[in-house]
Structure 1
């Protein structure tokens, strides 16, 4: 872009360009530090949002999501487990989450709701993922995609669910910190 087409300030002098985020000094896009599992959670969150808001079927959501840019960098098996597992266990997950809420489950934002589903599902079925990692991941999802303080709410609910769903692991972790 030549200077004659560059943005100008009020005094008609060229305004400096803002540095572009996510690029190296040579303009090459930086490699993301997100793991394939973290990416799969992001795609699952988007897919579950579609289910919660549009009541779309898991199959149609899955076909749409797999065509999104960057899906190939995710852990497709983990995405499948989260999407299909959460939708199949919707009633059970809601029954587990509802007693921990200070409002009706229908009043949750779809992002918070999907984050809680993902967290509860992983605590129940993904024993290879430490409970603290599960909590951290869903809190990060709520920070990135949710409302201003939604992550704090998700954090509180997940901290109430973890000792119930992973009692031995949580107790061992807490006992280790006291020593």
Structure 2
């Protein structure tokens, strides 16, 4: 069974995918996504934070991702690009979510919505980014993290 937070990430991915492909404003896309039948089972606050936060900060997020990419962001699949943006946003702005959870959730999104091997790429990029953005958390012994 999917958690409300996983559903929020899935809906955020759908909204961001539409935003990237159409260029429409997130303020017009988010209500359409919220109107979907299963949205009531999602964490609405997390959806809003991710969809609007990533759309607002996409340029800065791409800048922190780029050193860890093996190609320009424009050459990534749109789905995996959006997943990486979501992961980068969570790593940068949600320290209350353990970095391993952020990476795992992004990998699960990539397995569900991305290409055949896309989840491996997402995992590698976000692992490198976590080492940079959350160096203390990544370096801490596993049992000492909260």
Pairwise CA distance, 1:49: 0.3
Between the two structures, name the one with larger relative contact order (CA 8 Å, sep ≥ 6): 2
**1:114 maps to which residue?**
82
**2:130 maps to which residue?**
162
Aligned-partner SS, 1:89 = helix
Which structure has the bigger radius of gyration? 1
* 1:18-33 pair list within 5 angstroms: 33=1
* 1:88-167 pair list within 5 angstroms: 88-167=56-135
Normalised by the length of structure 1, the TM-score is 0.78
Aligned-partner SS, 1:99 = helix
Q: Number of matched residues?
A: 144
Q: Which has the higher helix share?
A: 2
After superposition, the CA RMSD in angstroms is 1.2
Whole-angstrom CA distance in 1 between matches of 2:24 and 2:114 = 21
**1:43 maps to which residue?**
11
Question: Which ranges in structure 2 are unaligned for 5 or more consecutive residues?
Answer: none
Question: Which ranges in structure 1 are unaligned for 5 or more consecutive residues?
Answer: 1-32
Q: Which string of whole-angstrom CA distances, capped at 9 and with x for unpartnered residues, describes residues 80-106 of structure 1?
A: 000010011011000011111111110
Whole-angstrom CA distance in 1 between matches of 2:112 and 2:141 = 27
Whole-angstrom CA distance in 1 between matches of 2:92 and 2:71 = 23
Q: Which runs of 4+ in 1 moved over 6 A?
A: none
